[in-house]
Structure 1
Amino acid sequence: MDVEILSRLQFAFTISFHYIYPPLSIGLGLIMVIMEGQYLRTGDKVYETMARFWTKIFALTFGIGVATGIVMEFEFGTNWATYSRYVGDVFGSALAAEGIFAFALESGFLGVLLFGWNRVSSKVHFIATLGVWLGSMFSAVWIVVANSWQQTPAGYHIVGEGMEARAEITDFWAMVFNPSSVDRLSHVWIGAFLAGAFLVMSVHAYYLLKGRHVELSKKAFKIALGVATVFSLAQLFTGHRSADGVAVNQPAKLAALEGHFDTLAPADMYLFGWVDKEKQQVTGLKIPGGLSFLTHFDFDAPVTGLNAFPEEDRPGALNAIFQFYHLMIAIGMALIGLTLYASWQWWRGKLFEHRWLLTIFAWAVLLPQVANQVGWFAAEMGRQPWVVYGHLRTSDALSKVVTANQVLFSLIMFSIVYLLLFSLFIYLLNKKIKHGPDDHDLIDQRPKQKAMIDG
């Protein structure tokens, strides 16, 4: 393989591994804020106990997320020097804003969150938890802004020519609010909320199946289910908004996502299928004119196809892009169905009577993670062959002195280190889950003790 393919594989691998953790941190942060808020509102120690427990899980995900994120910044300089020079002014501003407005807030309150139990008042600790969560949210803002600028550049001009060209900001707020940033940010935030909520439901479904921490787990599960239900439905709206933006700003990407080839013809919407790039056709189950309707509210409205673009300007791995995109949608619909059904059972008072439903939730923790990953794959692969859409090709963004052997060696080393880190994460996560909340014996035995006393 050549340097470009290896460099893309290395960056895809490192960012995919890193992206396991920030969504969990953001999602768990929201759940922890709700739990501590409930404790302040009700005075029920059960909520404090569950918040303490999930703070430990949060600390684990946060720590590994920070460690794995640093690697990517070095890759910009080693493998993508031309790209770094081209976007340095834009990315420098966004990453500086992240450090000032996000990471400083998050790290400033982190110590109080982790070590402030029994040292500060409950209200102060709640403020610290809120600060850490908001910091993680703001961090996502600037990362998504930088990435969205690559998709839909705005607020800049080009200085220099040829390989010395670089983008220079002319309007900071136009750069921040580029055409895709708000829709993509809301989509990313909600994906993070779902990842955190489903992790909480998975762990507490496991406890309920085992008959452990029952009182605590029922309350924690309901909190997470409420979050997951609201945001799984909201994700449908933000996903549609993002797709509308892609139709306007990146029509070649939309055509790749849907496997649409015919230029200016009405577009079908495939529920699933297989793309044959050579024959320029898709085999699968479709809604005739469905994409045209979603885009223009007209089943016969034309949608620009891939044949409208020069072959060198079309995304390459069409079937992979199509499959990743449709897998994300399928998982999103499954999450809506699962959470709505569970909410209905909650309303009927039978939420915890179905072991099969709890078993599904115990394993469903994987679904938001997969959806987050394949969604990013579809977005980034669909942008190809551009690293900055319409301006800088991926093939031109590489470092000129790095060899294929060097990239391959570093990819192998990263794979080994990340495998060890992931193994450590799973081991520590499993250990903390098996240990459970520290005060569970007192909490779970209260009803039994009261019954014995009354008897």
Structure 2
Amino acid sequence: MTALDVARWQFGITTVYHFIFVPLTIGLSILVAGMQTAWYVRRDPVYLRMTKFFGKLFLINFAIGVVTGIVQEFQFGMNWSDYSRFVGDIFGAPLAMEGLLAFFLESTFLGLWIFGWDKLSPRLHLATIWLAALGTNLSAYFILAANSWMQHPVGYRLNPVTHRAELTSISKVLTNSTTLVTFPHVLFGAFLTGGVFLIGVSAWHLARKNETVLFGKAMRYGLVVSLIAAIGVSVSGDLQARIMTKQQPMKMAAAEALYTTSAPASFSLFTIGSLDGGRELWSVRAPHVLSFMATGDPNGKVEGIDDLQKAYEAKYGAGSYKPVVPVTYWSFRLMIGFGFLAGLLALAGLWFQRRGNRWFYRAALASMALPFLANTMGWIFTEIGRQPWTVFGVLRTKDGVSPGVGLGSVVTSLTVFTLLYAVLAVIAGALMVRYVRSGPPSEEETATEDPLPAFSY
């Protein structure tokens, strides 16, 4: 075990933990804004109470997400200083835009939304939540632009004197083809997360016959959003797979445990490989499916791991350019499987929800974890599948670690962060459960808190 290994574990753990909260924040920001819009248009107090109830859960999740995200940025300077020096001129630009533009927009108008219920007119107050939601989604876009540059570097040049990557076109970075397919995929995944969250919370209350009118509406809202989002995830994921095959063919080959270039290429339904992930021992495959997924042509050629390894050695020099195949293979399948089950939940819910099926309520509550697991597996696949590169084709992971940070320091920080995040997980979970169980405010409480004089309409 080296400092590099522990630094990678630390960044992976903090990233996965942080991303538990991000999709729910993105999804709930739009869904809560939609609830308030329904109240503004219909003047139905049920929608106002729904807005306040799910808005409180959104704020708890947002706060924990902000805290965990700050830690990630510090790691660039602490454990990955050589990476930061190499890409700082490029990576810093979208992150600065995220902090100075998107996060300020998000946090400012979220503050106005929190404290402006009885101080702003309903129309102006509605605008604040939509602007906060816009900031949340812009924030996601800029961060994905930075990550997409690591997957497919564009708009830069290598300085032969300083040996650093320098920005030549911010527009190319922000309109990277990888970003343009990744953002909708992440966005649909966030809507699926938010929709399933609404379904699960509503199911808990409906099973106990609490506020059946309010949570019946919330359930239908969540079911429709989740089904549409599941379809969107599938379509955008298909586009993303084709872009990935062109830009990072080794990642697609590892995702399918495809060792030999094939045309047509079959999709692995189940593969057993050697312990080192170096070869296939036995598999069950569906003919032509991988070719269609990767190229859009059922007879298209898909390059294999062994052939790509030889090509990369000739291009980049000696070394292994294979990711950890078992992790890449199974994270890809688990991502798809968990996402499919979440979409199936929404479809089943639309079938059963008129009957108030208690079996479905139990299944919905248990299924709340599905989109979170799908998102986690998706990011593990994305980042593990890119290895051994930090910036694909430009900078290897081993060349980005801080040279002056020893194993003991990284182990200490990893231990502290892991324990701290465990405490935060308990706090976040307890707060969410507490407010979910408490239910929405009563109509009388809402009317008392939010006086709406006639002139404000």
1:273–1:282: 8 Å Cα contact kept in structure 2? yes
> Would you say the 8 A contact 1:275–1:322 is kept in 2?
no
Secondary structure of 2:282's counterpart equals strand
Contact 1:229/1:343 (8 A) holds in 2: no
Are the aligned partners of 1:259 and 1:282 in contact in 2 as well (CA < 8 Å)? no
Separation (CA, whole Å) in 2 of partners of 1:244 and 1:303 = 11
Partner of 2:240: 242
- Give 2:415's match in structure 1, choosing from 401, 412, 416: 412
Alignment match of 1:331 (pick from 332, 335, 338): 338
* Structure 1 unaligned blocks of 5 or more: 444-455
- Normalised by the length of structure 2, the TM-score is 0.92
How far the C-alpha of 1:363 sits from its partner, in A, is 1.6
Offset at 1:118? 2.3
- Other-structure match for 1:261: 259
1:55/1:114 contact within 8 Å kept: no
1:142 aligned partner: 142
Map of 1:85-124 to 2, 5 A cutoff? 85-124=85-124
Corresponding residue number in structure 2 for 1:11 = 11
Matched letter for residue 118 of structure 2: N
- Relative to 1, partners in 2 of residues 1:278 and 1:8: Cα closer, same or farther, differing over 3 Å? closer
Is the 8 Å Cα contact of residues 277 and 324 (structure 2) preserved in structure 1?
A: no
Partner of 2:308: 309
Contact 2:271–2:280 (CA under 8 A) maintained in structure 1: no
Q: State the match for 2:368 in structure 1.
A: 365
Q: Which of 385, 390, 410 is residue 387 of structure 1 equivalent to?
A: 390
CA distance in 1, matches of 2:272, 2:114: 49
CA RMSD after TM alignment = 1.7
Deviation at 1:19, TM superposition (A): 0.7
Query: Which position in structure 1 is the counterpart of 2:289?
Result: 290
CA contact (8 A) 1:265 1:305 kept: no
- Give the aligned partner of residue 422 of structure 1: 425
1:194 aligns with 2:192: yes
**Matched residue SS, 1:20:** helix
- Residue type at the aligned position of 1:263: T
Query: Is 1:22–1:65's contact at 8 Å kept on the other side of the alignment?
Result: yes
In structure 1, which of residues 170, 173, 182 is the aligned counterpart of residue 168 of structure 2?
A: 170
Counterpart of 1:44 in structure 2 is 44
1:302 match: secondary structure: coil
Deviations 1:18-67 (A, max 9, x none): 11112111111111011111111111000000101111111111111111
Say if 1:117 and 1:297 are closer, same or farther in 2 by CA, change over 3 A: closer
Indicate the larger mover: 113-122 or 179-188: 113-122
Q: Please tell me whether the aligned partners of residues 268 and 290 of structure 1 are also in contact (alpha carbons under 8 angstroms).
A: yes
User: Structure 2 regions of 5+ residues with no counterpart?
Assistant: 311-318, 447-457
Question: Is it true that 1:318 corresponds to 2:325 in the alignment?
Answer: yes
Of all paired residues, the percent bearing the same amino acid is 35
Instruction: Check 1:308–1:133 CA distance in 2 against 1; reply closer, same or farther (3 A cut).
Output: same
Counterpart secondary structure, 2:404: coil
Q: Within 2, Cα distance between the matches of 1:441 and 1:355?
A: 30
In structure 2, what is the equivalent of residue 453 of structure 1? none
Match of 1:355 among 349, 353, 358: 358
Q: Secondary structure at the match of 2:177?
A: coil
- Report if the CA contact (8 A) 2:109-2:128 is conserved: yes
Instruction: Give the letter for the 2:333 counterpart.
Output: H
Q: Which stretch of structure 1 is more off in the superposition, 293-302 or 333-342? A: 293-302
Task: Report SS of the residue matched to 1:303.
Answer: coil
What is the aligned residue count?
Answer: 437
- 8 Å Cα contact 1:154/1:179 also seen in 2: no
Which residue of 1 is the match for residue 227 of structure 2?
Answer: 229
> Is residue 205–residue 362 contact of structure 1 (8 Å, CA) maintained in 2?
yes
Alpha-carbon distance between aligned partners in 1 of 2:340 and 2:282, rounded to the nearest angstrom: 22
Alpha carbons 2:257, 2:271 under 8 Å: kept: no
Alignment TM-score, normalising by the size of structure 1: 0.92
CA contact (8 A) 2:196 2:342 kept: no
Structure 1 residue 213 corresponds to structure 2 residue 216: no
Report the CA distance shift for 1:188/1:279 in structure 2 as closer, same or farther (over 3 A). Answer: closer
Deviation, 1:364, is 1.2
Distance 1:137 1:101 in 2: 12
DSSP 3-state at the match of 1:309: helix
Q: Summarize the Cα distance change of 1:278–1:29 in structure 2 as closer, same or farther, 3 Å threshold.
A: closer
Distance 1:138 1:293 in 2: 33
Q: Deviations over 1:165-218 (max 9, x none)?
A: 211111111111122111011111111111111111111100000111111100
Deviates more, 1:434-443 or 1:264-273: 434-443
One-letter identity of the residue aligned with 2:359: W
